[in-house]
Copies of this chain bind each other. A is one copy, B any other.
């Protein structure tokens, strides 16, 4: 589904301000070019000040007033902040952390979303809310709750314990199937009944890996079920599409979560010093709901902050570059948190559009700049769509859960993935970051790094992709764990994968500090992380170990299958030499696969290709504030200045963006 417009929005809390301030806000929104407001996500107490006394007129009025002023609304359910009448005197309803600490009232996410009475009250309110505002002309979308599992992870309350037992029973049927699957004979962990399976709380040493991973999957499933339940209620009364503002930083399975929702959105507060951490979201969120553009639901106009910390403000020009990049990479909306600085609470210092005293903030000028750019690029962008990449990297929150259970040496899934992604980005290759279950059609190269458990389904789809001519690059840290987070007993990485890859994995062990040097593609680098050493069977050794404990054996192999190839990458080359080697590998297989969506754009600048009817748009954006260049392969048309652009090097100034139309030959 194509976008009809590019939205520019902000989170808004009219319930916290008086009428006069609201009037001022609406006036200023129009001035700033904000035409969508997200409202209501913390407003339970305003909607239902006492249990059962629901009054939604304020919100109906606000939505209508905004609409009358050309401002659309994304309406939120207010479930992240249950009011005091729901929490006071009810510790059994509250979130309980890993140490067994019971949360009190007064922050957010303090109640357990699996508590039955919470769910009952949430359902009633959401139903009433959807009824009241769901059909209003101003409501163009819904957001469920706010940042699920941002401040909390797996709850350890008694409600969760009981649901956990049911979940396990539904999954395993028979307790001895669970015992066998998890290998609970070890350390006499064995359970006689499902109701004996503990939550992974305090223990003298580590819990069983299966218990830890399954409890995470349970928790991620339950929060998605809550979303499904809420969405179903809304749909009874409203046709507006439903989303949730998520992130790869939260303890959710985004793929599963968005399956039940209508469009995908995310919140990001990445620093201007870490552009890849921003862009990886765009390249991933575009792929959660391929038929609908994604939203950036929250980002800061300048800096994020709370009572306890603050980030560095964006340099001038950066916010505009972020917005143009996002729209070019498939975003339909670019929204701020927040419109007006909080007067109270714990996030008063957070950057905003307007200050608590009603004046422009340090970010305001940047917002105007975004709006000017948005207007300029809206038409060409709406006439095209973000091109599908030829190179895909699989991202999985379930893989993240496995790594949380088994972090090796404090490995961080998000950091590993972003760093891997960054190398491809810096090589000027257009890329998709895709969920585990995504279709693989249309790709030429598929990377599957840091995925301890490769499901049969995934492997089979990847195999089909290879058969069709794709190159599948497996690793590092991929394979070697079963669905239950145990070790395969047929082969180190599982027989199916090894057979497909035409290798036998001889050993797996940590290579850091062993002196192991990997040599491949004419380069050498020290190897790191838990690694697999291969004996090629049908495969060919591409990368060979020198030094260390397995000299002469392979750490990179490739094996032809059908029209394509499966490449095993058994270790992570480290340091600057490792970077070079990895980039050489990426470049090698991109070339071999004839990846075309690639430019020589300089590091710090991006090219977002968009597909039009008979032409491609290159949206080129300098993101690092130092300017950059890219070689234009043929004459193009500057869509913004309407002039021709000669082939050859095209230079951009700091944070500058250009849109070049290149007609198909």
Query: Is A384 at the interface (CB under 8 A from chain B)?
Result: no
Q: What is the CA–CA distance of A172 and B49 in the complex, to the nearest angstrom?
A: 21
A206, B346: Cβ atoms closer than 8 Å: yes
Q: Which residue of B308, B357, B409, B489 contacts A310 across the interface (Cβ within 8 Å)?
A: B409
Residues of B within 8 A of A211 (CB): 106
Q: What is the CA–CA distance of A82 and B302 in the complex, to the nearest angstrom?
A: 53
- B-contacting residues, A76-109, CB 8 Å: 78, 81-85, 88, 95, 97, 99-109
B345, A186: Cβ atoms closer than 8 Å: yes
B204, A151: Cβ atoms closer than 8 Å: yes
Query: Is A509 at the interface (CB under 8 A from chain B)?
Result: yes
B110, A204: Cβ atoms closer than 8 Å: yes
Q: Which residue of B204, B210, B507 contacts A95 across the interface (Cβ within 8 Å)?
A: B204
A348, B486: Cβ atoms closer than 8 Å: yes
Q: Which residue of B83, B310, B315, B549 contacts A188 across the interface (Cβ within 8 Å)?
A: B83
- B-contacting residues, A113-168, CB 8 Å: 151-152
Q: What is the CA–CA distance of A409 and B303 in the complex, to the nearest angstrom?
A: 14
Residues of B within 8 A of A355 (CB): 492, 507-508
A109, B513: Cβ atoms closer than 8 Å: no
Q: Which residue of B16, B85, B407, B487 contacts A348 across the interface (Cβ within 8 Å)?
A: B487
Residues of B within 8 A of A484 (CB): 344
Residues of B within 8 A of A199 (CB): 104
- Could you tell me the distance in whole angstroms from the C-beta of A267 to the nearest C-beta in chain B? 14
B343, A486: Cβ atoms closer than 8 Å: yes
B107, A204: Cβ atoms closer than 8 Å: yes
Query: Is A316 at the interface (CB under 8 A from chain B)?
Result: yes
Whose C-beta in chain B lies nearest to the C-beta of A206? B346
- Could you tell me the distance in whole angstroms from the C-beta of A33 to the nearest C-beta in chain B? 20
- B-contacting residues, A171-198, CB 8 Å: 182-192, 196, 198
B348, A507: Cβ atoms closer than 8 Å: no
Query: Is A341 at the interface (CB under 8 A from chain B)?
Result: yes
Residues of B within 8 A of A626 (CB): none
Residues of B within 8 A of A16 (CB): 183, 185-186
A101, B202: Cβ atoms closer than 8 Å: yes
Q: What is the CA–CA distance of A519 and B197 in the complex, to the nearest angstrom?
A: 64
Given A106-B200, A192-B85, A206-B107, decide whether A351 and B509 contact each other with a Cβ distance below 8 A: yes
Query: Is A43 at the interface (CB under 8 A from chain B)?
Result: yes
Query: Is A597 at the interface (CB under 8 A from chain B)?
Result: no
- A contact face: mostly helix, strand, loop, or mixed: loop
Q: Which residue of B13, B358, B509 contacts A489 across the interface (Cβ within 8 Å)?
A: B358
- Could you tell me the distance in whole angstroms from the C-beta of A392 to the nearest C-beta in chain B? 29
A101, B100: Cβ atoms closer than 8 Å: yes
* Max count, chain B CB within 10 A of own CB: residue among A83, A109, A205, A210: A205
Whose C-beta in chain B lies nearest to the C-beta of A358? B489
A510, B189: Cβ atoms closer than 8 Å: no
Q: Which residue of B95, B308, B530, B550 contacts A407 across the interface (Cβ within 8 Å)?
A: B308
Given A109-B205, A204-B107, decide whether A183 and B308 contact each other with a Cβ distance below 8 A: no
Whose C-beta in chain B lies nearest to the C-beta of A314? B549
| Chain copies in the assembled complex | 3
Residues of B within 8 A of A15 (CB): 185
Q: What is the CA–CA distance of A469 and B508 in the complex, to the nearest angstrom?
A: 57
Q: Which residue of B205, B351, B356, B507 contacts A151 across the interface (Cβ within 8 Å)?
A: B205
Whose C-beta in chain B lies nearest to the C-beta of A182? B344
A487, B207: Cβ atoms closer than 8 Å: no
Q: What is the CA–CA distance of A514 and B530 in the complex, to the nearest angstrom?
A: 39
Query: Is A44 at the interface (CB under 8 A from chain B)?
Result: yes
A83, B345: Cβ atoms closer than 8 Å: no
Query: Is A230 at the interface (CB under 8 A from chain B)?
Result: no
Whose C-beta in chain B lies nearest to the C-beta of A495? B357
A345, B209: Cβ atoms closer than 8 Å: yes
Q: Which residue of B196, B307, B513 contacts A209 across the interface (Cβ within 8 Å)?
A: B307
A78, B312: Cβ atoms closer than 8 Å: no
Q: Which residue of B95, B103, B203 contacts A110 across the interface (Cβ within 8 Å)?
A: B203
Residues of B within 8 A of A102 (CB): 202
A486, B185: Cβ atoms closer than 8 Å: no
- B-contacting residues, A346-385, CB 8 Å: 346, 348-349, 351, 355-359, 361-362
Query: Is A388 at the interface (CB under 8 A from chain B)?
Result: no
Contact sample, A vs B, 20 pairs, CB 8 Å cutoff: A42-B186, A42-B188, A81-B187, A84-B196, A100-B101, A102-B202, A106-B189, A106-B203, A106-B208, A107-B204, A209-B348, A302-B509, A307-B405, A313-B514, A342-B487, A344-B484, A344-B486, A356-B487, A362-B549, A362-B550
Given A81-B188, A105-B196, A357-B488, 6 other A-B residues pairs in contact with their CB atoms under 8 A: A13-B186, A104-B203, A107-B203, A186-B344, A206-B346, A343-B489
Chain A positions near chain B (C-beta within 8 angstroms)? 13, 15-16, 42-46, 49-50, 78, 81-85, 88, 95, 97, 99-110, 151-152, 182-192, 196, 198-212, 302-303, 305-313, 315-316, 341-346, 348-349, 351, 355-359, 361-362, 405-409, 484, 486-492, 506-510, 512-515, 530, 533, 549-550
